[in-house]
Amino acid sequence: MFDEHAELQRLGAKAAARGEHALTNPMLDLANQPDATGESAKTWSDRRDAWSRGHLAQQTDVPRAMESASAGRGPAQDQALFGVTRVLTFKGSVSLTAASGFFFERSGRLFLITSRHVLFDAATGHAPDRIEIEVHTDARDLTRVGTLSALLYRNGTAEWIQAQDSGGPVDVAALALDTAALPDGYLVQAFTPADLPGHSFYIDVGDRLVIPGFPLGFYDTLHHLPVVRQAAVASWYGVRFQGAGYFLTDARMHRGCSGSPVLALATDGAATGHRWHLLGIHASRMDMANRNSEMDESLGLNCAWYADVLMVLTAGPLQAERLAAETKPE
């Protein structure tokens, strides 16, 4: 008798042997989920877990895989977990908010990327003066982390950089990090310009995306790892939605995810060593100003700013000086 779960487990093991990421689980495709098939959530989750068991059984132990990654030999899918960090904002000793961010490395400089409104938001009066981020410090023990505290202003001038384009302000900010101030042995899998989509890149509406982050501050508090939301492209990628510098994603997102990277799995990962395309930076949920909140549900759509803005924000000291935010907290 055909055992569907055994077959799914075998397919999961084969996918792992080919070097495919756990997020390629076919049961995560929208077409295979209960809303599309009409089957129960229990039936779907059992199939999903069967494939995942096979995939996990084929893997080498996590610490050894992480050691290879830290030496520059590991697959770049680690960026979805070890390139993302929780961003805590403070004004003096007073804790304000928790959000998401990720690391971007260019020309030997390491940047923290997050939403601009995480660092300053005039509309709400949000004006922190420093942030804290966590990084792993032991490839064998994921419970060990260190904290970096970084000032947002120095001598009244913002240390972080924001951008503006022809469509208006861009809700993305970059903060150059002093790597000498990072904890000893820090483990960071930063995104780089090589992870940005090239001219030949194509993604269609409805294609799957992933967004790792810290929704409502929820994450693996033992191993200090983010959780990953499934998403889909909800507007024509490459076309500025309503003329602004972002595209739309369809995903269930929450507060705390602002600043998360928006990623697409690369099809050429085995050849290039890059498993992810960095498409955008999640900023906020999109809604209609005239929606009747009593009769109509939220659209469930989100803004993702095009990631090519990072090439402007990290261009160098002279460019940074021109783009530096001039706002000073009260």
Distances (CA, A) of 57 to 50, 74, 116, 183, 191: 11, 19, 41, 33, 28
Contact 265, 24 (CB under 8 A): yes
Q: What is the CATH number of the domain that holds 127?
A: 2.40.10
Residue 70 lies in a domain: no
199 and 248 housed in the same domain: yes
Distances (CA, A) of 106 to 33, 42, 323: 39, 45, 17
Distances (CA, A) of 103 to 68, 116, 310: 19, 15, 11
Residue 65 lies in a domain: no
The rounded mean pLDDT for the chain is 81
Question: Would you say the pTM of this structure is higher than 0.85?
Answer: no
The model's pLDDT over 55-72, given as tens digits with 9 standing for 90+, comes to 777 654 444 444 444 444
Relative to beta strand 168-176, strand 157-158 is: unpaired
Number of separate domains in the chain? 3
82 and 160 housed in the same domain: yes
290 and 197 housed in the same domain: yes
Contact 302, 241 (CB under 8 A): no
Distances (CA, A) of 200 to 46, 203, 209, 240: 38, 10, 18, 18
198 and 308 housed in the same domain: yes
231 and 281 housed in the same domain: yes
Contact 133, 101 (CB under 8 A): yes
What is the domain extent for residue 282?
A: 193-312
Residue 262 lies in a domain: yes
12 and 152 housed in the same domain: no
CB atoms within 10 A of CB 60: 9
The model's pLDDT over 275-318, given as tens digits with 9 standing for 90+, comes to 789 999 998 766 555 555 555 556 779 999 999 999 999 986 53
The model's pLDDT over 134-189, given as tens digits with 9 standing for 90+, comes to 999 987 788 899 999 999 999 989 999 998 777 678 999 999 999 999 998 888 99
133 and 172 housed in the same domain: yes
